[in-house]
Amino acid sequence: MGEKTVTVNRKAQHDYHIVRTLEAGLSLRGTEIKSIREGRVSIREAYVRPDDGEVWLVGAHIAHYAPAGSANHDPTRRRRLLLHKRQIAELKRAVESEGVTIVPLRLYLKGGRAKLEIAVGRGKKRYDKRAAIAKRDADRQMQRALRRKA
């Protein structure tokens, strides 16, 4: 089975210099995975926090699953990420010593299971963001000019 991307956090690419990425599993309830399969999830405002030997996804919004009725989940609850102990220790060390942030990049289904691609990133300054936008615009204009010429 292949991968099916459910949602992408495009804001993360804009706000952070991505240092490295990891794949993490998610510990979910039944109504949450059903809602994810329907694509009713947002990780735009989410972040990842190491806490007491575990890593948690905070601020992700997984909408209620309508057929569940009163047996639904809390849409914004913290969700545990499934990583190896060594990976958790590396992430904790990076956040404490290097002053970086862990952000979710995309949520996808792989082999029927929900996976989260997380990244260790360093926050961009305002001038970095402006430079990235200017470079992207210049590249677009160059591509347009090449297409017109051909």
Task: Please tell me the distance from the alpha carbon of residue 95 to that of residue 93, in angstroms, as a whole number.
Answer: 6
Return the CATH number of the domain spanning residue range 3-124. Answer: 2.40.280.10
pLDDT of 65-86, one tens digit each? 888 878 788 888 899 999 999 9
pLDDT at residue 29, as a whole number:
86
* pLDDT average, residue stretch 32-48: 91
Q: Where are the domains of the chain?
A: 3-124
Segment 95-123 shows an average pLDDT of 90
DSSP string for residues in 53-117: TEEEEES-EE---GGGGGGPPPTT--EEEE--HHHHHHHHHIIIII--EEEEEEEEEETTEEEEE
Question: What is the average pLDDT value for the chain, to the nearest integer?
Answer: 89
Q: Is the pLDDT of residue 133 over 80?
A: yes
pTM given for the model: 0.79
Is the confidence at residue 1, as pLDDT, over 80? no
Query: What is the token pair recorded at 48?
Result: 């990842």
* pLDDT, greater one: 80 or 127: 80
Please check the confidence at residue 13 and state whether its pLDDT lies above 70: yes
